[in-house]
Structure 1
Amino acid sequence: MPVTDTLSPPTATASVTDALHRRRSVRAFTDRPVDPAQLRDIFAAAQRAPSGGNLQPWQATVLTGAPWQAVQDAVATRIAMGREGYEPEYDIYPKGLTDPWESRRYGVGEALYASLGIPREDKPARLDQFRHNYRGFGAPVMLFLHCSRIMGPPQWSDMGMWLQSVMLLLVEHGLASCPQECWAMYGATVRRTLGLGDDQILFSGLAIGYADEGAAVNRWPVPRVELEDVIDWQGFGE
């Protein structure tokens, strides 16, 4: 059977395997504040993430309160402009995406809307849910991950390893998160609001907080494909 995500209680975890099973992209947070000292401990531990040549290319800006609200307000203004408001940093999905990847993307989107009870024909409700992305799903903390524009694909993979490390450590501390590449659609606005120079490129946001465990959007199963679909075993015998 495919592996699925289920939301677990916000208790400390004792193993990497446990953290991997508990972690999921949470799309409804409570307004409970997050202890900055706890976040500092998490980010300090995440510095052990590997990077080619030990470049450690990741840079992050972590916001709460008024600065976080300022980003939300700035991006809301761009969203109201429609497609003219887009300022993409990069293509989040490849152009001409084909199966099996397109089916996976379509399937998870439809499952998300189904968990919220939003049918395909209810365009206003779907648009509101789209906008909810840019409120961080109510998370009290938002991390924006960025790097120097001179960095290439290998360093972007390093940033991904750092981000995964942070997400697993958040689970260990009883916190939840949602990685959000969608912010790159309005990357220039985010960078301007954060005071980042044009030498930086925005990679992703990460909503951080305590999960609303009763929210249906946090409880629907997110399937993973079978190992046979992604692993080719060679030299191991029959």
Structure 2
Amino acid sequence: MAADPTYNLTALADRLGVEGRLPALAGKIRRARELHSLHTDLVMALESVAALDNLLLAPTDLSDHGKMITESALLNNAILLYARATKTASDERKGFDPRPRFDERQKAIHRELCDLRDAAIAHFGSGGVYSGEWQAELSILQFRGEDAKVAVVTRRQTVDKGLVKRVRAQIEAALPHFRDAYLGSLDELTDALQLEADTNADFSDEIGQHPLNLALFMKSEQAADEARRSFDSEHARGAVAHS
């Protein structure tokens, strides 16, 4: 029995854009993809924090350099993904500003994390409003007896456990807002598709020009099956009548 078909709405939106047709529908298709992408960044950020929490359960061993580097990388990744989702935008993905939905404490932590991204992680600096010490470096002159040598010493933050807690809390505060925005975009897209199907007898043919091999896109049949299971979840919304 042949698998039920899947179609590439992003390819449809791209073609409609080139042809200068149905800009509202094309925009809703793009916006759903953008909001899902932003939400995914936050999910991955929270997964990084969860992995970091597991590492921090073990006693600190200053001789285990690999563990310290992994902890630092996970914290940096969580902060980068949070800032990428909540602050930055690009030509390839429009943003979503959650700040109007935050309380004052959440706004302060949001600024702290974005400052760390901008002025400590992505670009060298002390971290803006971050009150801890992210890194410190000094040029020094050392003596040993009558001999002297110049050197540079550096101290880098690996993991600030208080910051880890704030990062987790902030991601958990932001996620529902992005989730609601994404699910709302699916509802709007469903309505737009249904309207077009109701008013354009050839619309099924329009969509039919863009079949998608889901397993090929997802790189495995197992991953494709996981995506197909979303059909019965809230992450796939509405029903569009078709023939």
TM over 0.5: no
Q: TM-score, length-normalised on structure 2? A: 0.22
Structure whose CA Rg is larger? 2
TM-score by length of 1: 0.22
- Structure with the largest fraction of helix: 2
